[in-house]
Chains A and B, each alone.
Chain A
Amino acid sequence: MNNSLGASKRKLSGSPKINKVSFFGRVKATISQHIHQLVHNFMELWKTPFATSMTILVLGLALSLPTVFHVVYKNVDRVGGQWESASEISLFLKKDLSEEQIQVLINKLGLYENIETVTYISRHQALQEFKEMSGFSKALNYLDENPLPAVLIVVPVESAMNSAGTKLLVANLEREQDIDLVRIDIDWIEKLQAIFYLVVDIVIAIATLLLLSVLLIVSNTIRLNILNQRAEIEVLKLVGATNRFIQLPYLYIGAWYGFLGGVIAWLFSTIMVIWLESGVVNLTGLYKAKFEIISLTFNESIMLLFIGALLGLIASFISVKQYLVTIEPK
């Protein structure tokens, strides 16, 4: 003991920032310390299972809305890709075509490999339908001639019901001399898209507030932990612990809260996808469209957990910087 004490005395002169452990020894101990803290603080969370579960659940819910929104946005965006491959294409024919010419055109279209069915709506049928739907039947009687063109409703084969296939078919149809206008029925989708982008802006604002609430929840939880462990912190400071050393467990706890909140959000979004899947399949089936709702990818899931942990870490860092430095031994 005499020798080591003597060595200690020699090292004490000059700057107080002297460590008895070698640089590599400290690096090794620091790594070991981090691994220990990572595992230990996870276990520590479950010493108060109810409080921890509630906190994680609240964080999970707060992270769920942005996550669910992302899933919805991703799927709606995919629908956007399929908008141009709508299940029906309306062909407005030139008014001066005779019934024979129309029949020839129908026969010609029947030879297209990428057309499943062709339905003919004559000018007369179109006018009758319009009279019934518009309620202007009497007014329309005063017209000298039928203003409506004949229409062919074309349904592409299933293999052509995609963006590229539909574009190719539309391009071919537009080259037909007897067709005045080729129209894919997407007006309602465009309106829906406009509403959707408005909703996107609103949800981004709400999601930002919820992410901010994650910061506040974790920050407040860590603040309470710090205040509850005031006596322990004082002892640590008395025996020479730096703020960096003392803050480490709190940072890990914050990161764990965020990470576990992310896990809950991932579960919520996955359950939501499973729950909606059959309903979406039924709905798209009615429109003869093929659509499968997709959940978060592996990379997105990892990103969600990372963002959760990062938010927790930032929140606990803010709390630690604010409260830890104010605690001094008495």
Chain B
Amino acid sequence: MILFEEVSKVYSDDHIALNSVNFHLKQGEMAFLTGHSGSGKSTLLKLVSLMERPTAGRIVLNGNDISHIKGNDIPYLRRHIGMIFQDHRLLMNRTVLDNVGLPLLIEGYSRFEIKRRSLAALEKVGLSGKEDAFPINLSGGEQQRVGIARAIINQPPLLLADEPTGNLDPKLSLEILTLFESLNKFGMSVLIATHDLGLIAKMRYRTLTLREGHMINDGLLRD
């Protein structure tokens, strides 16, 4: 699903965010990405989601070499990635239903189909009945679940989550990760960036650990 070969990223201020990183996330695999602040987690996710381009190396996403992909093709590739953010990135002036249905609207689905699938996605994340609410009126946990519903609505083969439990209490965090686990069981590849080692330890999945741009561990996190 995701293949990194000797990938480096150097920003314009000469800061080396990633240094010769190699890993392969297989189709249907779930993994955690961890490390301290500034270790390169966000940069790695940005490279996968095409928000940044690598300075060196090769990135293959679902068979497509995206290292030098044309700008016009980026939106089409992003449609195959579900992205979840710590700050949710919801449109506050649109209802929950509109937010969740956004990827389908972009893909050209009919309004009827968008509504049907949005309601189903909201049900899946436990937000039935909240479709007409505005995100501003929801709690942090509910907003996060709206973000998850939006990310999974078009059933992408890959789900990227950047600190999805950052603002949530432990109980809700576990609920969210259990939801990711269930999506993974349906064949969705999941890569979760988090610094919550306790949560990672509970879930016992493959963990990629970054430190100062280097991949220092790839496997189960030791207790």
Taking Cβ atoms with an 8 Å cutoff, the residues of A that contact B are: 1-2, 4-6, 8-9, 12-21, 25-26, 28-30, 32-33, 232, 234-242, 245, 328-330
Binding stretch for chain A, among B16-24, B31-39, B68-76, B196-204: B68-76
Chain A residues within 8 Å of B64, by CB: 14-16
Which residue of B72, B76, B111 is within 8 Å of A240 (Cβ)?
Answer: B76
List 7 A–B pairs whose Cβ atoms lie within 8 Å, in order of A's numbering. Answer: A2-B186, A5-B155, A9-B187, A21-B109, A235-B91, A240-B76, A328-B51
* Chain B neighbourhood of A17, CB < 8 A: 73, 76
Question: Which residues of B are found within 8 Å of A234, using beta-carbon distances?
Answer: 89
Q: A9: which of B49, B69, B157 is its contact (CB, 8 Å)? A: B157
What per-residue 1/0 map shows which CB atoms of B87-101 lie under 8 Å from chain A? 001110100000000
Q: For the complex, what is the distance from the CA of A239 to the CA of B156, rounded to whole Å? A: 11
CB–CB B157/A21 < 8 A: no
B48 on the A face (CB < 8 A): no
12 further A-B contacts with Cβ under 8 Å, apart from A1-B155, A16-B76, are: A1-B186, A2-B187, A9-B157, A13-B62, A15-B73, A16-B80, A19-B107, A28-B110, A236-B106, A240-B79, A242-B75, A242-B106
User: Do A16 and B187 touch across chains, with their CB atoms under 8 A apart?
Assistant: no
Q: Which of B127-157 contact A (CB under 8 A)?
A: 150, 154-157
- What is the CA–CA distance of A29 and B214 in the complex, to the nearest angstrom? 46
B177 in contact (CB, < 8 A): no
In the bound complex, CA of A246 to CA of B221 (Å):
42
Contact A238 B78 (CB under 8 A): yes
Residues of B within 8 A of A237 (CB): 75, 78
CB distance from A94 to the nearest CB of B (A): 87
Scoring B residues 148 to 188 as 1 if CB is less than 8 Å from chain A, else 0, what string do you get? 00100011110000000000000000000000000000111
**A238 near B155: Cβ-Cβ < 8 Å:** no
B25 in the interface, Cβ–Cβ < 8 Å? no
Looking at chain A's contact residues, is the secondary structure mostly helix, strand, loop, or mixed? helix
| CA distance in complex: A330, B77 (Å) | 17
Does residue B102 face the partner (Cβ distance < 8 Å to A)? yes
Contacts of B75 in A (CB 8 A): 237, 240-242
> Shortest Cβ distance from B75 into chain A, in angstroms?
5
User: How big is the B interface, by class?
Assistant: 35 or more
CB distance from A243 to the nearest CB of B (A): 8
Instruction: Choose one: A5, A29, A328; the contact of B108 (CB below 8 Å).
Output: A29
Is the beta-carbon distance between A29 and B109 smaller than 8 angstroms?
Answer: yes
Q: How far is the CA of A1 from the CA of B111 in the complex (A)?
A: 20
Q: Contact check, A16 vs B69: say whether CB atoms are below 8 A apart.
A: yes
With the chains together, A240 CA to B186 CA distance in Å? 23
Contact in complex: A12, B78 (CB < 8 Å): no
Which residues of chain A have C-beta atoms less than 8 A from B106's C-beta? 236, 239-242, 245
Chain B residues with CB under 8 A of A33: 105, 108
Given A13-B62, A14-B63, are A239 and B78 neighbors across the interface (CB < 8 Å)?
Answer: yes
- A6-B78 in contact (CB<8A): no
Determine whether B40 belongs to the interface, using a CB cutoff of 8 Å to chain A: no
Kindly list chain B residues whose C-beta atoms are within 8 Å of the C-beta of A13.
62-63
Q: Give Cα A234–Cα B89 distance, bound, in whole angstroms.
A: 9
Residues of B within 8 A of A241 (CB): 75, 106
Cα–Cα distance between A49 and B77 once the two chains are bound (Å): 39
In the complex, B213 has a CB within 8 A of chain A: no
Closest B residue, CB atoms, query A4: B155
Complex Cα–Cα for A9 and B157 (A):
6
Q: How far is the CA of A242 from the CA of B70 in the complex (A)?
A: 13
Q: Looking at the assembled complex, report how far the CB atom of B135 sits from the nearest CB atom of chain A, in whole angstroms.
A: 11
A6-B187, A16-B69, A29-B110 given as contacts; is B150 within 8 A of A239 (CB)? yes
Residues of chain B within 8 A of A242, CB atoms compared: 72, 75-76, 106
Complex: chain B residue closest to A22, CB-CB: B108
* Contact flag A12-B80 (CB < 8 Å), given A1-B186, A235-B89: yes
Q: How far is the CA of A4 from the CA of B19 in the complex (A)?
A: 37
Residue of A nearest to B157 (CB): A9
- Among B69, B79, B111, B187, the residue within 8 A (CB) of A32 is B111
Chain B residues with CB under 8 Å of A240's CB are 75-79, 103, 106-107
B83 lies within 8 A of chain A by Cβ: yes
Query: How near does chain A come to B128, taking the closest CB pair, in angstroms?
Result: 17
Shortest Cβ distance from A219 into chain B, in angstroms?
A: 24
The residue in chain A whose Cβ has the minimal distance to the Cβ of B153 is A239
Report the bound CA distance from A237 to B46 in whole Å: 13
Q: Is there an interface contact between A8 and B78, defined as CB atoms closer than 8 Å?
A: no
Q: Does B27 contact A (CB under 8 A)?
A: yes
Question: Please, which residues of chain A bring their CB within 8 A of the CB of B109?
Answer: 21, 25, 29
Q: A8-B157, A239-B103, A245-B106 are in contact. Are A232 and B91 (CB under 8 A)?
A: yes
What B residues does A29 contact at CB under 8 A?
A: 108-110
Residues of A within 8 A of B62 (CB): 9, 12-13
Q: Known contacts A18-B76, A239-B150, A241-B106; is A8 also within 8 Å of B156 by CB? A: yes
